[in-house]
Amino acid sequence: MQNFDYQTPTRLIFGEGVVEKLQKVMSAFGNKILLTYGGGSIKKIPAF
């Protein structure tokens, strides 16, 4: 494996009603994304 340096900007969106805006925000990244989670809290969000 070759050495590499990878940097990605982070965008945090907080507040009421932000889950409803996720489709528009994430559409800029294409049709497939990877979400990682722990503890199962993400499964409680209606968007998933």
Convert the pLDDT of each residue in 1-48 to its tens digit: 899 998 888 888 888 888 888 888 888 888 887 776 677 777 777 665
Q: Are 26 and 33 in contact (CB under 8 A)?
A: yes
pLDDT recorded at residue 2: 92
pLDDT at 47: 63
Cα–Cα dist 19/45, whole Å: 8
Question: What pLDDT is recorded for position 19?
Answer: 81
Structure confidence at residue 22 (pLDDT): 82
* Rounded CA separation 23/16 (Å): 15
Task: Give the pLDDT confidence score for residue 12 in this predicted structure.
Answer: 84
pLDDT of residue 3: 94
The dihedral through the CA atoms of 42, 43, 46, 48 has a sign that is positive
